[in-house]
Amino acid sequence: MKELRNVEADLRQFRLRALVATAAVIVAFTLIWARAYYLQVVQYENLNEQAERNRTAVVPVVPMRGEVEDRNGEILASNYSAYTLEITPSKVPDLDAVLSELEPLVTISKRDRRRFNKLLSETKAFEAIPIRTLLSDEEVARFAAQRWRFPGVEIRARFFRNYPLGATASHLVGYIGRINQREQDEIESWPDEERANYRGTDYIGKLGIEQFYEKELHGETGIERIETSAGGRAVRILDSRPARPGRTIELTIDAKLQQLTEQLFGDRRGALVAIDPRNGEILAFVSAPTFDPNLFVEGIDVESWRALADSPDKPLLNRAIRGRYPPGSTYKPFMGLAALELGKRSPQATTYDPGYWIFGDNKFRSHGDEGLGNVDLRTSIVKSSNTYYYALANDLGVDAIHDFMAPFGFGQITGIDLHGEQSGILPSQAWKRAAYKRADQQRWYAGETISLGIGQGYNSFTMLQLASATATLANRGVQYPPHLMRAIRDSRNSTAQTMSSVTPRDLNLNQKNVDHIIEAMVGVTQEGTSRLSFANAPYLSAGKTGTAQAVTIGQNEKYDAKKLAEYERDHALYIAFAPTDAPEIALAIVVENAGFGSAHAAPIARRVFDYVLLGQYPSEADIAAVQQGQATAPIGEPRAVADVPLIRTVDPTTSE
């Protein structure tokens, strides 16, 4: 039977199907084209960057840190290259097991473990922590052969900081250490350019010059764009921008003088600051005892830290800018000058000194209870009469004393290029009202003024302030701010940027009055309390000894060192400058709890002056005598400064 079909209907159905299929193909190709356009054109930059990131890595290149030198080019802080073994805790499931497995390959001491544990508690888990530094080539080779066994453990070659003179000038130079969280937060607050410059940086200046000139010493971080394989291994360097090493800081100090002065202190505590009064350059900056900054570079271990932190000698305290001391009788030349400048005394006017001074119901003792009779200005300084200055302070009043002393820098920040400087106390009625809360404490009593005249009472200054004031007096009232940086040199072209010139401040002192004070201070070294220390010196110096109370002794009590603990005994002080006609050096020194300035402080000053003015280095026997407080004038045959080498620590790159 023949089938009847509607050809026309079939044809329409076919055409419809063909049209739908064609439309589907067109839509599909349109979508493909649109997607290709979107990926290849619209998203090209973004996808190309992602692809580059998948096959490349941008690695920061940490610059070599700049060096620190003394005025003669002696290196105080430098760098050396070595291998370190580091562990990333987040990638190591069992630290103790890994450390045990590493020991056959790399020697890990108990000190290394203690330091690692300390850093572990202070560092984020995803940051690499050194377990061993200064690996030998043999240790590097042994570990490299077994590298596959230790995920999360790697060897890095990098620069290490070294302080070749060890403890010499440690409070001045400072040290670097690993960046802690507080410092990291501070870096995050810096401008973008400065923050980016610290990418990849693990260490930062913590103290001293290393901290103050951190950004100059750090240098400029470079970058390397590295092509990597699918496994993350570096294949080749595609592009790079070299790191720019940090700049070299040239200091004003003389490292050999610094080392000698620290040696002269021996086991005693104290501070000394020596300044060139002609420009404010600091020649020696001593805080005794010192410490070895090399201990801190890779993180100090707990045992070493406790030895320093718990020591009653406080070796970590920078006594030169943070130690505050009553100036004692070293204050008398400034008080004498105040008397002349303010018209309260003439050079010839006398005060009767019976060995004490009565004020109200209090008896203020003077000169070991021995009266000096009628005392004029010169005698008051040469013989160090307390009675003269008790009466003077009472006549001047606390506010007049404050206003005269303030321009010399007492009780004020000097602005030295170190962080952490203390201002000390130069008392006044306004100061006391601000310092205390209770009304009875805020009131200034007339009896409190008396002790100010002899550098006691509320007076509390740093040795830097006292040295700066002495330099101003030596310079006859012309004041230069003290500073430690002499020049900054670029590491690439050795271009030096010297300390910008500073306009000195003139205190406009009456030069005849200054002459009277200086002549009296010369008398101290020729016939007074420091005459034995400066006997036969071929130059003329001006000085003043001082003995200051460390603890308060009642006005009616007699001081007896034998009845007091060592830390309660008087401090020995001395200020001086030389030569008197054209001073090249001025200094202030304190030897804590040592007693008389003439026995313990002045002998150190004599050796410092001989070094600077004569080029002489004391004999070994003389150094030993000074350390024991048993020296006056130098003994033995002095040596030429050039013939005495600096004492350096063991080179860290060599075996001990």
Q: What is the distance between the alpha carbons of residues 216 and 570, in angstroms, rounded to a whole number? A: 42
| Type of residue found at 205 | G
Name 412's Cβ contacts closer than 8 Å, sequence gap at least 6: 406, 423, 424, 426, 465
CB 275 within 8 A of CB 471: yes
Spatial CA neighbour of 480 closest among 495, 488, 469: 469
3-state secondary structure of 287: strand
The total of other beta-carbon atoms located within 10 Å of residue 648's CB is 14
Q: What is the distance between the alpha carbons of residues 351 and 347, in angstroms, rounded to a whole number? A: 11
Q: What is the dihedral of CA 411, 414, 525, 452, to 10 degrees?
A: 0
CB 629 within 8 A of CB 533: no
| Type of residue found at 581 | D
Task: Indicate the helix (H) or strand (E) that contains 177.
Answer: strand 176-178
CB 262 within 8 A of CB 647: no
CB 379 within 8 A of CB 347: no
Task: Indicate the helix (H) or strand (E) that contains 7.
Answer: helix 7-37
Task: Indicate the helix (H) or strand (E) that contains 143.
Answer: helix 137-145
Q: What is the distance between the alpha carbons of residues 646 and 642, in angstroms, rounded to a whole number? A: 10
DSSP letter, residue 39: I
Q: How far is CA 450 from CA 342, 343, 391, 447, 617, in A?
A: 18, 19, 7, 6, 42
Burial zone of 307 (CB within 10 Å; 0-12 exposed, 13-18 middle, 19+ buried)? middle
DSSP letter, residue 538: S
Task: Indicate the helix (H) or strand (E) that contains 56.
Answer: strand 56-61
Q: What is the distance between the alpha carbons of residues 441 and 428, in angstroms, rounded to a whole number? A: 13
Q: What is the distance between the alpha carbons of residues 263 and 602, in angstroms, rounded to a whole number? A: 15
Any idea which residues carry the catalytic annotation?
Answer: 329
The total of other beta-carbon atoms located within 10 Å of residue 78's CB is 18
**Residue 102, both tokens:** 């590493």
The total of other beta-carbon atoms located within 10 Å of residue 294's CB is 20
